[in-house]
A and B are shown apart, each in its own frame.
Chain A
Amino acid sequence: MQNATPWLSLSIWIPIVAGLLVIATGRDKNARVARFIAIVGALVGFLVTIPLYAGFDQSSPVMQFVELAPWIGTFSVNYHLGVDGISVLFILLNSFITVLVVIAGWEVIQTRVSQYMAAFLIMSGLLNGVFSALDAVLFYVFFEGSLIPMYLIIGVWGGPNRVYAAVKFFLYTLLGSLLMLVSFIYLYFVSGGSFEILDWHKVPLAMGAQVLVFFAFFAAFSVKVPMWPVHTWLPDAHVEAPTGGSAVLAAIMLKLGAYGFIRFSLPIVPDASQYLAPFIITLSLIAVIYIGLVALVQADMKKLVAYSSISHMGFVTLGFFIFNALGAEGALVQMISHGFVSAAMFLCIGVMYDRMHSRQIADYGGVANTMPKFAAFMMLFAMANCGLPGTSGFVGEFLVILGAVKYSFWLGFAAATTLIFGAAYTLWMYKRVIFGAVANHHVAELTDIGGREFLVLALLALAVLGFGLYPKPLTDVMHISVENLLRHVAVSKL
């Protein structure tokens, strides 16, 4: 199905071109121009993703908005884009978050503005590319390419220990993806010379090969998710990254790993996935429970939210590897919801950090007295983070728990403990930071959020509440694709 307007290409290339224009404005004396081009680029980049949702045929599991053109003939690599009900939502989420990040960095970033904005715009385009690529090499190019801007964002605008965090982030993710590359090349030869992901879905593979390919994919995607025990880069990266970097990292980049599992691991090596599911489920449960406990003892707010992200992503991998529709859809909803909520949490911490230059919980207390509007917003996001009904956080977790109970009662029981731990660490942090008496004169001098910050948080609040009360727009889009995926996974490839 060749579409008239290449909406996917536009959603990839408009941010990238805008990013290149922004970087061309050069030094900080042109910062105003740079910011202006950046916001226009981000907004247009978001607008062109709306037709992807509006024009999406929800009754069809096939790839839509397909664009196919030969790219590197000598390697039989094609420029092949397309989305199904699973990937389309992430493109919208990514473009939306990019707009917010540009607004959030409007005044906060005062040095090397053009490079900052350009890095985010280019990364946004690359991430859209990851979600829409149907050719494995194209996928890999976008997947790896997105490391470069993130490396620079953490390293240039990050905190005191930024160099360590940036290098650790880069090397951890690179190791995984290089092994994935080898398995891509292996699959290329096994499939008779094709890099088409959809062709690979149909290639029969022996169990031994499936297990090896599974572990190569696992290396790439588990680092990205991140799953316990390869999660250690995430707290470092989050703590050191600037606010916008943390938001994009949590909201979008972590989703690449989970997306990889459903686009590559499950359909390409279904038997190995079924066989090794207990292994993944165990790791997911460790992430949910153990990392949840780790989050409880954090003194640094960003670290706390980072661990909470790992714990939430454990829910996502759990949902995928119990192989039922409730679990998979719940995991997908959880991914979208976590995109909004984690971005919101990091932006909230950013709001406080901009004023106090501290992320330590102990430095705060009684913020509600001086920043009432902000406290209200943060309340909502904290509730969403612990999965309160009525917020988007609830829908995903509830569906995954239902799916897990269907799989095994005790699994569901163990997973459900997240509701307790999540509430414990989030609300305890909230209490210590926001409530109580004004802790010190710094807190007493705080000013409430301005119009720009209000806009960003309000947009996120709308999304969190909207999808919490009425998640149907999300689940309708993904339903057929998820059913199709699960049907495919159920058929052995041996």
Chain B
Amino acid sequence: MPIESFVLAYAEIVVLVAASLILLVDVFLHERMPWFAYAATHLTLLVAALATWAVLGATGGGPNYAFGDMFVSDGMANVLKLFCYLAVAACLVYSRSYLMERGLFRGEFFVLVLFSLLGMMVMISANHLLTLYLGLELQSLSLYALVALNRESATSTEAAMKYFILGALASGLLLYGMSMLYGATGSLAITAISEAVGNKDANRALLVFGLVFVVAGIAFKIGLVPFHMWIPDVYHGAPNAMTILIASAPKLAAFAIAVRMLVNGLAQLAPDWQQMLVILSVLSMGLGNLAAIAQTNFKRMLAYSAIGHMGFMLLGLASGVVGGNLFSAIDAYGSAMFYTVVYVLMTLAGFAVVLLMSRSGFEADSLDDLKGLNQRSPWYALLTLIVMFSMAGIPPTVGFYAKFAVIKSAVAAGQIWLAVVAVVFSLIGAFYYLRVVKLMYFDEPEANAVPLRGDRDFRLLLSANGLALLVLGVLPDGLMQLCLDSVRWLTV
């Protein structure tokens, strides 16, 4: 095995080794140094980020294969990994005091977080269905355990069970689909599948049948209607610190496997899967935004909003191949990636507000807990306002450009009706985001409400996160360019 293989996977190796070390060392240290695991995890993320950065710099974004072509390191993989580190680090900072108050600030938490991160990284870099599946399972199993980490909480346990059962079902669907792809093409390597499909010597009926299952499995993982049922329950039932994690970085990984399988592997079948994605997209935008209106719980509202947002993201993913040519593919996939990254930034800030509201003892996650926030904590209210307008897609926030980019892709693919449907649902979505602003700004605080207090690191990060949505909204060019450069190699 050439040594370069290991170089390309340095970041994964760092995370794996660090996770194992923290697991071992923390057993001895956590009495004397409860901070050890927290600090070591952040350090790991930093080192992994440097490694990924170095690979990105050295390879310039082009694809490099390792471990017998099972592992690919390209621009998209490395950029997505960097955003994963960022999201995980942000989750840790946001949830630190929450975990400490509930006695969950323990080594297992950090080890599981690192293992799920490793799973995401493997998913992102998978160039073989086996690698992809291994990464997916590593990520999912760690997340199931995380949701159940608070053993005393019945709701968390229930959420973990739901997550596990539905997740296992989704994995089963995906595996079934993969086995059919294998049957039709005779290979599990994504590159080989792509060639086999391109040569037209594969059994087309079997391929399309497998494709249906693959798309269903991916839709489960992304959380798209009609495979979305777990999202509201798990988001709601999981402890807030786990919800923020589940809602953020895994979306990047799920986006990556969608791209790996559909674009890298099955681009020849694009007319088939694009149709499916369009249906999933319309259903998700519709149900996500309509159901969110009925919610009184902030976490459930954000959960339905997540479903809606992923529907919007699909607009980009479903618009890459037009009439068999790839002229607008880079713009389309770049816009989908931009949407995903922006969504992760928004959702981090959104759930950070949920974490901020939950004081020790009980989870304050009802929308009414936001009442009169402007009078209690004007700065947090302003940040939440920015997040909400960004999610609603109102300029000058970056959420507007995310919607703008995917709608532009849809119009470029000639699907103007889809663009009109999307804007109608985004109008419906605006209603419940506006309601949050209404609660914070127009309503009087309840009698027993107190100002929200966050630690300094929390406050700084939330401020940076909220203002980033505004700054990126004024200057979105850099991030968009980054996303376009990342996907440039996908279709070559």
Contact = CB atoms under 8 A, between A and B. Distances in A.
Question: A and B bound?
Answer: yes
Interface of A: 23, 26-27, 71-75, 112, 115, 137, 140-141, 144-145, 147-148, 151-152, 155-156, 162-163, 166-167, 170-171, 174-175, 178-179, 181-182, 185-186, 188-189
B395 A182 contact: no
B6 interface: no
B434 A167 contact: yes
A166 B431 CA distance: 11
A439 to B, nearest CB: 34
Contact of B416 (A71, A137, A166, A182): A182
Contact of A171 (B378, B430, B481): B430
A112 B419 CA distance: 40
6 contacts: A75-B480, A112-B374, A148-B394, A155-B442, A171-B431, A178-B426
Contacts of A147: 394
B441 interface: yes
Contacts of B412: 189
A443 to B, nearest CB: 32
Contacts of B405: 75
Contacts of B438: 155, 163, 166-167
Contact of A185 (B411, B431, B477): B411
A137 B378 CA distance: 31
A103 B412 CA distance: 49
B36 interface: no
Interface of B: 374, 378, 382, 389, 394-396, 400-401, 404-405, 407-408, 411-412, 416, 419-420, 423-424, 426-427, 430-431, 434-435, 437-438, 441-442, 475-477, 480-481, 484
Contact of B427 (A115, A145, A171): A171
Contacts of B400: 141, 144
Given A174-B427, A182-B407, A73 B442 contact: no
A162 B442 contact: yes
A72 B408 contact: no
Contacts of A185: 404, 407-408, 411, 419
Contacts, number: 94
B416 A151 contact: no
A26 B96 CA distance: 29
B30 to A, nearest CB: 42
Given A141-B396, A178-B424, 12 more contacts: A26-B378, A74-B477, A75-B408, A137-B404, A156-B441, A162-B442, A174-B394, A174-B427, A174-B430, A175-B427, A178-B427, A182-B416
B411 A72 contact: no
Contacts of B408: 75, 185, 188
Given A141-B395, A145-B395, A27 B411 contact: no
Contacts of B442: 155-156, 162-163, 166
Contacts of A171: 427, 430-431, 434
A140 B407 CA distance: 15
Contacts of B411: 182, 185-186, 188-189
User: Which residue among B408, B412, B424 has the maximum number of chain A CB atoms within 10 Å of its CB?
Assistant: B408
A140 B419 CA distance: 17
Contact of B389 (A140, A148, A175): A148
A182 B480 contact: no
Contact of B394 (A145, A179, A188): A145
Contact of B437 (A74, A151, A174, A186): A151
Contacts of B427: 171, 174-175, 178
A182 B477 contact: no
A313 B441 CA distance: 32
Nearest to A141: B395
Given A75-B480, A163-B442, A182 B430 contact: no
Given A167-B431, A171-B430, A182 B423 contact: yes
A74 B396 contact: no
A73 B481 contact: yes
A72 B480 contact: yes
A179 B477 contact: no
A72 B401 CA distance: 10
Nearest to A181: B423
Contacts of A73: 477, 481
Contacts of B434: 151, 167, 170-171
A182 B401 CA distance: 13
Contacts of B441: 152, 155-156
B476 A72 contact: yes
8 A-B pairs closest in CB distance: A178-B423, A141-B395, A74-B480, A155-B442, A185-B411, A72-B477, A182-B419, A144-B395
A152 B441 CA distance: 8
A174 B233 CA distance: 31
A74 B484 contact: yes
Contacts of A145: 394-396
A147 B484 CA distance: 31
Contacts of B430: 170-171, 174
Nearest to B428: A171
B58 to A, nearest CB: 25
B394 A75 contact: no
Contacts of A27: 378
Contacts of B401: 72, 75
A343 B475 CA distance: 35
Contacts of A148: 389, 394
Nearest to B476: A72
A174 B424 CA distance: 10
Contacts of A188: 408, 411
A181 B407 contact: yes
A97 to B, nearest CB: 23
A72 B396 CA distance: 13
A75 B438 CA distance: 33
A131 to B, nearest CB: 17
B452 to A, nearest CB: 16
B20 to A, nearest CB: 41
B472 to A, nearest CB: 11
Which has the most chain B C-beta neighbours within 10 Å: A71, A112, A140, A148?
A148
Contacts of A112: 374
Nearest to A72: B477
A170 B436 CA distance: 14
A27 B437 CA distance: 19
Contacts of A26: 378
A115 B374 CA distance: 10
Nearest to A147: B394
B424 to A, nearest CB: 8
A127 to B, nearest CB: 14
A422 to B, nearest CB: 35
A165 to B, nearest CB: 11
A185 B409 CA distance: 9
A24 B400 CA distance: 25
B66 to A, nearest CB: 31
Contacts of A178: 423-424, 426-427
* Most chain B beta-carbon neighbours within 10 Å: one of A141, A155, A186: A141
Contact of B477 (A71, A137, A163, A189): A71
Contacts of A186: 411, 416
Contacts of B426: 178
B421 to A, nearest CB: 10
A170 B389 CA distance: 12
A73 B396 CA distance: 17
Given A152-B441, A182-B407, A144 B394 contact: yes
A155 B381 CA distance: 15
A136 B408 CA distance: 14
A244 B437 CA distance: 21
A171 B437 CA distance: 14
Nearest to A73: B477
A406 to B, nearest CB: 39
